[in-house]
Amino acid sequence: MTSEKHKKNIENDSDKTLTCGLIMPISSIDNCSSDHWIEVKSIIMEAVDSITNLRFSIKLVSDADDVGVIQKRIVQNIYSSDIVICDVSCKNPNVMFELGMRLAFDKPTVIIKDDKTDYAFDTGIIEHVPYPRDLRFSRIVTFKTALAEKVVATHRAAMTDPNHSTFLKNFGKFQVANLEESLIPADKLVIEMLSDLQTEVARLRRFSPRDDIRRNKNNEAESILKITHAIDSYRHDNKGIDTIELLGKDDFYKYVEDRIDAHRHFDSPSDFRKAVDRELINRC
């Protein structure tokens, strides 16, 4: 009887639009700009949209069609989404807290992270779908396929296995209560928790806007210095090749990119090339 019920759930899901909540950073953090996160969001949405046997409507858990209290909206979307994709890259405090809420509800969740972020202690036992922070095209194509497959597999597992658990089963047997607003105003309780934790979240933000500007300036100066040293090193290794000959030379750019760890200093390959070209032109 139970298996037949879950089988019917899958059949019904193929005919309706499911909700996919998205939890991820949206502002600058750890040398990743807001534009970087816009691009990551686009990649995630493309991956979900590519799923053919299920239809998902994907949006940030903070988004809504109406105007209301944002904390209540976030809690409601975290709870009610059929599946949630959470990007824990850079370990954004708000993201980690929202992920904790979703896991407490023990509902279908897919976690992703970039290849520069370490696993968090508490959630490291959950499989993560990795992607390259530099968003290189070939590896992103592979990531999108893997993410789409993971979303489908996670949703189907939740529908077919009555004992499916994303997280809590690793620590014992728990009975997770359903949120019924008319009977259990759990969202109000979580809103109070959010309010209590605001101070703690603020403490995790290590830089004020002024500090962030200063850090960006220091990062720019550091990147220019590294580029200069890389140019000198390449010319030395190549018997004093003229600086002008380096413009447009692919193996030279690859040498500098690897030597200075370019993805830590630049938001995109084009920004990196422009910075290198400026230094070359200044030497001509």
pLDDT tens per residue across span 184-195: 455 665 666 666
User: Check: CATH 3.40.1380.10 for 2-204?
Assistant: no
- Specify whether the CB–CB gap between 164 and 157 falls below 8 A: yes
- How far, in Å, CA of 193 to CA of 37, rounded? 27
Which residues neighbour 126 within 8 Å (Cβ) at sequence distance 6 or greater? Answer: 109, 111, 166, 167
- Name the residue ranges covered by the structural domains of the chain: 2-204, 209-283
Share in percent of the chain as helix, strand, coil (round to 5): 60, 10, 30
Predicted confidence (pLDDT) per residue in 131-185, tens digit: 999 999 999 999 999 999 999 999 999 888 777 776 655 544 545 555 454 444 5
Predicted confidence (pLDDT) per residue in 28-74, tens digit: 999 999 999 999 999 999 999 999 989 999 999 988 655 455 677 88
Query: What is the four-CA torsion angle of 116, 120, 125, 129, rounded to 10 degrees?
Result: -30
Name the DSSP letter for residue 177.
P
pLDDT, position 194: 66
- The closest alpha carbon to 22, from 70, 58, 72, belongs to 58
In the structure encoding, which two tokens stand for residue 68, read together?
């209301």
In the structure encoding, which two tokens stand for residue 172, read together?
């014992």
